[in-house]
Each structure stands twice: as C-alpha cells, then as structure tokens.
Chains A and B, each alone.
Chain A
Amino acid sequence: MNTVDFLNSREDLLSPGISACQGCMAELSLRVILKVLGEKTVLVVPPGCMAGAAVGGWNKSLGTKIPAAMPQLGNSASMLAGIKAAYDLVDPDVHCLAYAGDGGTADIGLQALSAAAERRDNIIYVCNDNEAYMNTGFQKSGTTPHGARTSTTPVGSVGRGKVNFKKDVPMMMAMQNTAYVATLTPAYMNDFVEKVQKAATIKDGLVYLHVLNPCPTGWGTKPENSIAYARAAVQSRYFLLYEYRNYEFTVSAPTKNIREPKDVTEFLQKQKRFAHLDEQDYEEVRRVVNSRWENLKKLAGL
C-alpha cells in the first residue's frame, strides 16, 4: 500500500478542528504520527503550541481520541517514564508517546530526556522542532539557528539575531546510544511514515524522533509554503535526514539521493526571521551545513 492509501486507511485520532495557525506543520506531523501509532497510545504534550492548540481541548471536550496528559515543560520524558513503568504492569503493548517542543526538549527537558534514554525506558519521544519557543511569543531556543531573529535575539543597531548555532539534539541522542534515533520532516511523507512505523517496533529502549516542522507564524513565511520550506531544508542539507540504531548511522533516501544540493539561501531567503542576513552570514551557514554533512557521511561510512 502506498503512503497516501495507508494514511487514508488509518483513523484520525486528533481533533478535526483545532486552533493551530494556518500552515502549521506541527499539527500535521502529530496527526500523522497518531495515525501510524494507532489508538493504543497514551500521549503527553508539555506546554507549547501543541498543548494549547491541539491536545488540551476546551470546554470539557478532548483534543484527541486517545488519553493525553499535560506534564510540565521540563518533565515530559520523566513523567512519561513513570506512565510507562505503570503501563508495563497493565498492558506493555501500549505506546507511550511524548510530543514536545524544541524548548521542552533541547533546553529545559534535556536532562530528563537523556536520563530516560540511558535507562532505556521504552517510550517514543518526538521533538517538534519549530526552532523557537513559538507558543509564548517567538523566543530563542537551543535549536534556533544562527542568525535567526527571535523576540529574545532581536535585530537592532548592534544585535544581529542569534549569535550561536543550532544545538544538534538528534546527534547528542545518537552519541549516548539511544535505542533508535531518526530525523523527519513532513515534506517527505514516505520517509516520515516509515520511521514512525519503525519506532513502533522498537522494544529495547527509548525512541527519539526529531521532526523539523516549519512554523509560518514564527518564521515569517506564507502558510501555503510550509511544505516547500521543509523540502528546501532537506534539499539544501540544512536539515539532514538519517537514522541511528546500534552504533550505525543510515542516511535516509531523501538526503542520500540529493545529486545537486540547493544553496542554503533557498531555505533562508524570504523567511522574515533571516531578512537581515547578508552574504557573509550565508557563508557562515554554508560552512556549518557542510561540516555537518561531512560529519554525517563519515559516521554513516559514505
């Protein structure tokens, strides 16, 4: 069955009407993940866009057709570990899923996440990376890229956006030998669905899925272009698609099959958060993107 037919055959477990922004990829990604994992899933969503817009529900109505809970910002992994430990006594086949923002993951929740991976808690932890604290007004996070304007890295007569570089959480998780690590983005749905399907089969530890979800409101892009930005991120090698399991890196097809990589400006240009960047900044981004790709190639034996 092709991916479209497969997804059509699966029940939609996320509320049909939610208050996410137009063109929100975090919503699409969550919807697909829930379709793949199915209704024997328990979901935790910490404060952030998806807790507010999708999952929380209002007026006594649920946002999902599966049970859900709201942890605090920094304890998605640890609270889910407790849920999993208890579920092991009830029904070990139930998927315990976290859908946390990059702030809840790369920053305040990193310690608990790393510990859960080390303990090999069998939970599925998804980082919804929209590259800033979007729900609370576009503040910088550890995964905000170099140069990006956010409300806490403003551009002014002196300020030029974020000074430092994006924290590479999937690589950190791989380096501590997390049971399964994969990077995903909704522009490549076959790859996306396959990775979530694989995640569902992992039983020997923590699954870490890092999803790049373009955010039109925070990035300053047109809602109808979200998928195009996700694709440009991959085609420019700004965002690398790969998997890690048992000390092996595998570069995923969409990244592996790039013959002529697009220039990073394909991804950076026309995003309002990068509007102030000049050729020197682009060059800096190119250098980092290239180094990351060279590093991954070595790790994957390419």
Chain B
Amino acid sequence: MTRIDALTGNECVAEAVRLCSPDIIAAYPITPQSVVVEVLASMKANGQLKSKIVDVESEHSSMSVVKGAAMLGKRVFTATAGQGLAYMYEPYFSMSTMRFPMVMTLACREMISPGTVWCGLQDALSVRDAGWMQIFCENNQEILDMVIQGYKIAENHDVLIPMNVCYDGFYLSHQTERVEIPDQEQVDAFLPPIDLPQYLDVNHPAIVDPNTVGSYLIRYREDHLKCMQTAKKVIREVNDEFAEKFGRNWGGLIGSYRLEDADYVLVTIGATTGAARVVVDAWREKGVKMGLLKIRAVRPFPEEEIAEALKGRKAYGVIDRSVCFGWNRGIIAMETFAALGKAGVCLPGLSFVGGLGGLDLRTEYVDKAAGMIVEAAKGAIPAGETFWMNEDFL
C-alpha cells in the first residue's frame, strides 16, 4: 500500500533508492546532499536496504567504485552536489561514455568562487555536455518518482545512458513536503531487474575501455548522441506508464501550466516553477493570458516540444538559476534561444538570471519578470535582453 509521509527531498531520494535496490552504492557526503548518504547508511544499519554500500573517501572514488561495479552489469547509485560533482568529473564523463546506465541525484549547489554552499543549478548545468541525461525536479514527490523512472529509462537497451535527477539544493533537499511512497510490489512491477551483460568476465575475457582509435571513437559518439535522441521517446513512454500505474503525470520532457491559450510564457526549471505557478494565477486573475513552460529535461534537450509550446505566443522569458559564461545570459535561456532559432520560431524572448548562491527567487521577482515579458511583446523592451534578479531588480 502507498504510504503517505512528510519528507525532505533528500529523504525522498533515499526512499526511492531503497525501492530500486541497487546492487552497489558509493556516495560521499557534501552539503546539501549529505542527508541522502546518512539516510541510506541508517537504512542499511536497520536492515532495510539490500544494497552493498562502499564507504568512499571522495567523489572521484564514489563514481569510480560504481563504474567498476557497472562493468559487471550491476545496478548502482551515487549522489553528490557542487564541488563533489566537479571533483568527480573525470570518472563522471567516462561513466556516460562507457554507456553504463545508473541514476545519480544532484542536490544542486552554486559553484565557487566566491565561497558558497547554497543553491544554484550551476553545478549540474555546467556539465550538461558530459553525456548524461539530466532531469530537473520541481518538488519532492517529483524527485522520488524520477529516481524510480530514471532507472527504467537509463537501463532501457535503446538508451543505456546514465541519468542525473537534479533538484534545487536546500529549497528541495531540506524542505519537508507531503509525499506518497509507493510500496515495493508496485515498484517491482514497474521496474524490472537490470538486464545487462557482465562485461568483465573471467570466462569470457575482454578488455573494457582500452585506448581506442578515432575512427571507432567517432562512431561511439554518434551512437551516444543518437541514443540520447531515442531517450526522448523513452522518457515520454516511461512517464506515461508511470502515470498510469502510480497516478502522477509529470509530463515527460516538459511540463506546463495554463499554457494552452497563453499569450505570454514564463519558462522555468526546477523549484522556481512553484513561484511561477503563483504568478501565472495572479496574472490570469488580472485577465492577462500568462502561462508556464517548465523545462524538465535539459539532456536530452526537448527542442521540438519547446518550439511547439512557444510557437504563436506574443513573448516569453526564461528564468535561470545559472549563468552561461560568454553568452551574457542564463543557460536555459541560451538553450531555448537555440531551439527556437533552429525551429524558425521567432518571438521576443528575455533572459532573467536569479537565485544564484541561494538567493530567493521570490514571487515578486517572477511577477516583475512576467510584466517585462508583456512589455517585450509590445516592443517596449528589446528582445534577447538579459536582466539580473539582484537586489536592484524590483
């Protein structure tokens, strides 16, 4: 039977991991993810977790341990944030380019310097081109559900790409929300056991990951990129199956709110989406057709869905919790601009950068952004401009 509980985002990760029962877990604590590691350890101590935990000394080792275990076709898990992700970049890139499926959660954290431990999506988004799938969550239930879906998507034989399930550090990692925890039978019926060969096998000697000539390597990359496109279909299918079996539909690659007839669109990612929903309602109340487009998947990037969702609108604005160095705008804004350009969809779009280093992305900020989007539609604000949601913004 489904259990209803009040859990933080980090606790949701641990509950979902317990239900997915990886063979091997190796994770190293870092704010704001640490509770994930602690809860998994206590589950193990209480006999509630079957997985073997390898107690590592660093993130470089956590990713290396799970990569080694993946060479035997095992299901594995790790979690990190910010500096930990940066520290593990070397085996992180290799995990995806070896095409070993797994789920790694990220309690997203601003990158130093200057020194910070607070929220930001810069850690995950800075490595969006390291070959992993990346899905961003809005609330704790979505985190729990996406870990379970993540294994099913990643382990699909047409995909075989690891997935980051990302959520705003502190805002979700430490916030308690009502969540529904499915029972083991339900999850077992949804998520089959991992079905991959034992690549390192004394009975069938082979070398894994040797030096490879460019003429092979380019084919690996081509295949990886193609499978990333296939993953779009699989993410949608798994989303639909999950919705049917568990009664929660997160929308697949994107989510939306009052978007159908909207003239103006707020484009969001992660927990900021919650504030944007409130703002959309307020503008609707005033009789302005404001709508919301929530980007869930950043890799694979849902360019078709985004172009389709924004086509024929009057204007839009993207609210980012990260920066795209060299482009003077947020990362999701940059990606959205690219998707629209490719699709030949032309409408005024603005970039808003806020919430860095744990700053609140308050509804007042989002509300002001919504107003600027309306102005941009009239041509009163030049399209493509970037606005910083700092203390002078309001």
Contact = CB atoms under 8 A, between A and B. Distances in A.
Interface string A65-82: 111111110110011111
Contacts of A68: 205, 207-208
A66 B205 contact: yes
B210 interface: yes
Nearest to B57: A115
A112 B207 contact: no
B68 A82 contact: yes
Interface string B35-74: 0000000000000000010111110111011111111101
Given A72-B64, A112-B58, A56 B207 contact: yes
A78 B26 CA distance: 10
Contacts of B74: 86, 89
A89 B64 contact: no
A263 interface: no
A79 B67 contact: yes
B61 A115 contact: yes
B211 A52 contact: yes
Interface residues of A, number: 45
Interface residues of B, number: 38
Contacts of A67: 200-202, 204-208
Contacts of B52: 85, 88-89
B71 A40 contact: no
Given A64-B205, A75-B60, A82 B65 contact: yes
Interface of B: 23-24, 26, 52, 54-58, 60-62, 64-72, 74, 76, 90-91, 94, 198, 200-202, 204-211
Interface of A: 39-42, 51-52, 55-58, 62-72, 74-75, 78-91, 94, 111-112, 114-115, 118-119, 121
Given A67-B200, A115-B56, 14 more contacts: A66-B202, A67-B202, A68-B207, A69-B208, A72-B90, A82-B68, A83-B68, A85-B52, A86-B24, A88-B52, A91-B202, A94-B202, A115-B58, A121-B54
19 contacts: A40-B202, A41-B202, A42-B200, A56-B211, A58-B211, A67-B201, A67-B204, A67-B205, A67-B207, A69-B207, A69-B208, A70-B209, A74-B90, A91-B202, A112-B61, A114-B57, A118-B57, A119-B54, A119-B55
